[in-house]
Structure 1
């Protein structure tokens, strides 16, 4: 057996009649598929033809906790720039899968840990799959999140294994399943302890070999799902049931993704092509779709976003070797929705959490909120019931500061009152250890001002969580001039362990996210005041790609909260920031939005049912609204948002364009398919952006005048991502 060619990708050994293929990409923490990996697999399959008789093949990973996490994203990005290489690469991958399926011995995938994208497609080309009960074992096809679709047969083999409805759901939603669910769905054949994975996989191969029908079973399952329609026996694949399922999938995708994301629709087309014309027709449709999608701007932007998130998730404070303080116990001051939400997310990751509030009733409500969130995880089978009990056991409450002396980090999450937060900081520092970190969950109050109440300002910073905490992925960490790198490192480590995407920003009025969303809402308020309807404003921005429009967003945040933040920003940037009276007039009518079921929308059902027409009675022009072109609304809102991002970069609030783009996408709902607000501005061209903003400023107000950094870059024909 040759061992001198490309051992850095995979190796082959034969023991007791079983050929073991170990995937282990050298110098990488995870395994990915790639053209060199395909070449190495081809060599190994050639070698197997010259070996003594064997009873089976077991494919496994040399990296504990990771099988194969997908196709090499770097190569995928290169393919977009070399489109002539895409179809040959796909054809070569399909040929490799076909060779595995047609081997004269059964092939078993032994999966420990993450098995995603091309990794799962490789495993599905095997005759059986054994997975470990490792909590890191996750299986799925997440390609749609990158603007493409599975390209190595995933659109054909996954529905074959789990059924049409489930296959569509997993591919379109980029859903990952754990080992037990994979077993229930029929995606894997057995779930075992990691210590016996290879043993069970080898035994499975021997049993299949002894039975002698592994290829027939594999081919029959394919033909059951992918033969001609007249021969189909799977009810889900028959007309009219099949037609109904595909129509429903397209309609749900249209509602969720709109017209901006072509990948899920092309995935549906590829799956349907297989059901209509057979496996080979499905593979051809899949390859054609992948080839076309990977060249699109949407795919390029989503792939760039993937890389940006990776960079942000690895970024460390300066100096780079700064180590975090160890944290296993966290205190939370304030048992409201934010405080309780923070507590639940921390407990989910194994932290012991102590919540303080002023009354037993408040503590009780906070603990019940935590319990409700945990129970929801149990109902959705994200965790087991015993795990839920253990998680809830990590959380305790107090009306005093008992138990806080043992915490290494405290996050205060009381309402936005500067004096109250200062008094809490003083109280905490009397009770905490010298190295304990105190973090304020605030959206607008300056951390530098809070630090004036601190005896240890180096250990004080901001941690701005977004509501609801258990759903929103972003965490904005705010450092003031005296915050130590060690404090920042600790906040980053805790935030990342909580599952958050963290950006670190410098202190200033509204920090980064509140400033930017404030500018967006402020401009929408001006458009409302000028006579546009609420529906027109919200529809224009959702059509542009935002998940909700700015007026509905204000209702969700709360008009009282939004106006308080707006007042802070107005005071700080009075020379260039002018606020409309429209939002103040609506708030003065006692409308707080969804929380009191009275805002821009009606909430009879608990959700936003329809616009409340009586709002217009409070506004200039009354119920006679003006027809303002959607493109003008879109341009004014996104450029107002961009301008504030540019000011944040210009003033050093944010130090890297990447952090701005991650912040607006993960925290503020900026459309991911546009790649981020600065990347989108670059694609439009900063010369055009500057000209458009100058024209808008002349027509609608100086607040839209472009920041100097935009003007300077436009004059130099430069970009944010130079």
Structure 2
């Protein structure tokens, strides 16, 4: 499009103008055509007022499309070498490769509200199209390093006095960029290029680089990307730009070929895919929700209330007793008072949020809500009674949600006259902190209810994953086997702190025994009683029950698998627990053996994998990547390993199956559990990954 001598080249690949091979090709062709057209005096690259570009197309990673000519670096070099000035018109968001493309332009006009970022480190990468070399030349080495290593977004206006920003547009962005281009004078030829700007590195910059390098080397669980990004930026300060770009490319290639980047990219795409449910799309009608009821003012109920208040909903908190209600309301108020004290809210914001909170002892107070979430004690009959009361109180069309973590949602729905309106919303504790939300679809849950629940999850800033109905749904059903295998490792010869240490060293946020102490060992005790009644053949270690019989319920009682002393963070190994385990082994005739950390990790993680495969076979989980999302967002699984199912693929499914069969054949091995899931076996035999299960005949 030509505007009085200015060619406007629009990036048009909704929703975020990812720089795919196709878009790169068309953009280069348009750039060449504009340079060849004598009627064109200047060129403007424009996305739209909301997004310039979100960067490269991550879906092309691992294919030749990512590097096929014109690659992004080739496109940027073409922009830099344009015979006519190129002005980037940058809307509200410019990220990753999109920002690198803008850095290759001769001038940059930003929307006044624009935000920029280079999030590559969150994908196990570094900016690989010139970002580590050009951004320091635009805003200074230390500012560029902070932006690159954090992966966070920052307001472009913060850099208005640097070479990054030539103008901030307060109104029509494209018109402002065209006007800017029109005002350019031929006297400025050759057009300014960031690559030609000298980068002065002061002594303070060198000291800062050394400080950051030492800090990064001392951090665990971050992978190689931050340190590689630091070295690339450091190269910008000591090498000519072309040599710096070569170093950046070498470091990028090393990261791109590594397992951490594959895992992080998988996690990123998995979270995006988790919101997609077959048969439900943007055309599926949803139920407007602005006022929400929460039944139960305990830890979970107050956390859920806080989540909804933070998202702008009106919340009515319901309890059966005055004291319990007042305690719950006080917890919510204290939460926001804490944010006020930390200056994360101002007084007006705090007052506005709390102004949307009300409390009641009467179900009639929920007569105008569009959604109610029960968060009462995890007992089937208690929850059925609450749902009956909600069924009577809520208006027609309202959604009845249960926060159950294990119970049969279909049985809960049968307690109401509208099972099609019942859905599971399984928040994880503490609800105001944990990112995961399992959205459980009952046998009769309506599409509109599921669609509404998934969109609510996004508004609540949760990672929502759809699950079918089974004992524990996706996360807790798998967790049950993980904990059960950890318990059987105690029988075999390991100790709780060895198991925790092995898994935490491997990358888990918390080992299984620390986790049980934090959650309360009595919770697992109740679950085991219920599961034994349903399946007497299920093998458990008796040590956890013996622990509970002594009242060692964890942190809340000061004793669990560990001892918890006042004023000290975390627990310490307790000789009493070791004696309890030894005594049990003796009574049971169990001969302990030496167990290595590798075996501990294999058994516990492969237990997750095997149960995850069974969930896929049964249709409880829609896709293997959903299983990964559940464990990454809700259970402290290391993101650098991509989730249990991705990790199994990295190990080779045939190797995983072989190891499980070895466990099954060992003397005293739990052959019933360690029999690999049929889906796992078929995939291994055909050398296929979980994502290609549909190819099986």
TM-score (norm 2): 0.86
Residue of structure 2 aligned with 1:583, choices 528, 540, 544: 544
Contact 1:93 1:152 in 2 (8 A): no
**Alpha-carbon deviation of 1:599?**
3.5
Contact 1:510 1:569 in 2 (8 A): no
Unaligned stretches of 5+ in structure 2? 587-591, 693-697
Structure 1 201/717 Cα, relative in aligned 2: closer, same or farther at 3 Å?
A: closer
Residue of structure 1 aligned with 2:50, choices 65, 69, 72: 65
What whole-Å deviation, never above 9, does each CA across 1:662-697 have from its counterpart, x for those lacking one?
323332333344444334334444443333222212
**Alpha-carbon deviation of 1:160?**
4.4
SS in 2 for 1:499: coil
**2:437 counterpart residue number:** 475
Contact 1:518 1:565 in 2 (8 A): no
The reply to whether residue 547 of structure 1 matches residue 547 of structure 2 is no
What whole-Å deviation, never above 9, does each CA across 1:75-122 have from its counterpart, x for those lacking one?
33313xx89x4798354145135336xx675x5433223311111212
Residue of structure 2 aligned with 1:124, choices 103, 107, 114: 103
**1:701 counterpart residue number:** 670
**1:356 counterpart residue number:** 318
Contact 2:277 2:466 in 1 (8 A): no
The reply to whether residue 265 of structure 1 matches residue 215 of structure 2 is no
The reply to whether residue 401 of structure 1 matches residue 363 of structure 2 is yes
**Alpha-carbon deviation of 1:636?**
0.9
**1:637 counterpart residue number:** 604
| CA distance in structure 1 between the aligned counterparts of 2:431 and 2:71, rounded to whole angstroms | 42
The reply to whether residue 243 of structure 1 matches residue 172 of structure 2 is no
Contact 1:55 1:209 in 2 (8 A): no
**1:514 counterpart residue number:** 476
Q: Which stretch of the first structure deviates more once superposed, 658-667 or 404-413?
A: 658-667
| CA distance in structure 1 between the aligned counterparts of 2:328 and 2:241, rounded to whole angstroms | 54
SS in 2 for 1:586: helix
**2:306 counterpart residue number:** 344
**1:176 counterpart residue number:** 153
1:483-562 matches, cutoff 5 A: 483-562=445-524
**Alpha-carbon deviation of 1:638?**
1.2
| CA distance in structure 1 between the aligned counterparts of 2:341 and 2:211, rounded to whole angstroms | 29
SS in 1 for 2:621: coil
Structure 1 446/606 Cα, relative in aligned 2: closer, same or farther at 3 Å?
A: farther
| Number of residue pairs aligned between Structure 1 and Structure 2 | 683
Contact 2:80 2:106 in 1 (8 A): no
Residue of structure 1 aligned with 2:74, choices 92, 97, 100: 92
| CA distance in structure 2 between the aligned counterparts of 1:637 and 1:409, rounded to whole angstroms | 38
| CA distance in structure 1 between the aligned counterparts of 2:180 and 2:450, rounded to whole angstroms | 50
Structure 1 310/216 Cα, relative in aligned 2: closer, same or farther at 3 Å?
A: closer
**1:229 counterpart residue number:** none
Q: Which stretch of the first structure deviates more once superposed, 501-510 or 158-167?
A: 158-167
SS in 1 for 2:472: coil
Contact 2:290 2:370 in 1 (8 A): yes
**Alpha-carbon deviation of 1:464?**
0.7
Contact 2:612 2:624 in 1 (8 A): no
**1:564 counterpart residue number:** 526
**Alpha-carbon deviation of 1:524?**
1.3
| CA distance in structure 2 between the aligned counterparts of 1:40 and 1:716, rounded to whole angstroms | 39
Residue of structure 2 aligned with 1:197, choices 143, 168, 173: 173
| CA distance in structure 2 between the aligned counterparts of 1:470 and 1:211, rounded to whole angstroms | 58
Structure 1 652/316 Cα, relative in aligned 2: closer, same or farther at 3 Å?
A: closer
Q: Which stretch of the first structure deviates more once superposed, 377-386 or 345-354?
A: 377-386
SS in 1 for 2:248: helix
What whole-Å deviation, never above 9, does each CA across 1:637-674 have from its counterpart, x for those lacking one?
11222222233233332343333233233323333444
Unaligned stretches of 5+ in structure 1? 1-11, 226-231
**Alpha-carbon deviation of 1:338?**
2.2
The reply to whether residue 149 of structure 1 matches residue 126 of structure 2 is yes
Residue of structure 1 aligned with 2:9, choices 1, 4, 21: 21
SS in 2 for 1:77: coil
**Alpha-carbon deviation of 1:20?**
3.5
Residue of structure 1 aligned with 2:198, choices 204, 207, 223: 223
SS in 1 for 2:230: helix
The reply to whether residue 412 of structure 1 matches residue 397 of structure 2 is no
Contact 2:54 2:98 in 1 (8 A): yes
Contact 1:316 1:489 in 2 (8 A): no
Structure 1 344/518 Cα, relative in aligned 2: closer, same or farther at 3 Å?
A: same
| CA distance in structure 1 between the aligned counterparts of 2:479 and 2:135, rounded to whole angstroms | 41
| CA distance in structure 2 between the aligned counterparts of 1:683 and 1:488, rounded to whole angstroms | 33
**Alpha-carbon deviation of 1:715?**
5.5
**2:695 counterpart residue number:** none
Q: Which stretch of the first structure deviates more once superposed, 588-597 or 447-456?
A: 588-597
Structure 1 91/685 Cα, relative in aligned 2: closer, same or farther at 3 Å?
A: closer
**Alpha-carbon deviation of 1:612?**
4.3
SS in 2 for 1:314: coil
1:678-717 matches, cutoff 5 A: 678-699=645-666, 700-702=669-671, 703-711=673-681, 713-714=683-684
Q: Which stretch of the first structure deviates more once superposed, 366-375 or 524-533?
A: 366-375
| CA distance in structure 1 between the aligned counterparts of 2:323 and 2:31, rounded to whole angstroms | 67
Residue of structure 1 aligned with 2:404, choices 398, 420, 442: 442
Contact 1:679 1:721 in 2 (8 A): no
**Alpha-carbon deviation of 1:68?**
0.4
| CA distance in structure 2 between the aligned counterparts of 1:149 and 1:374, rounded to whole angstroms | 37
Structure 1 511/373 Cα, relative in aligned 2: closer, same or farther at 3 Å?
A: same
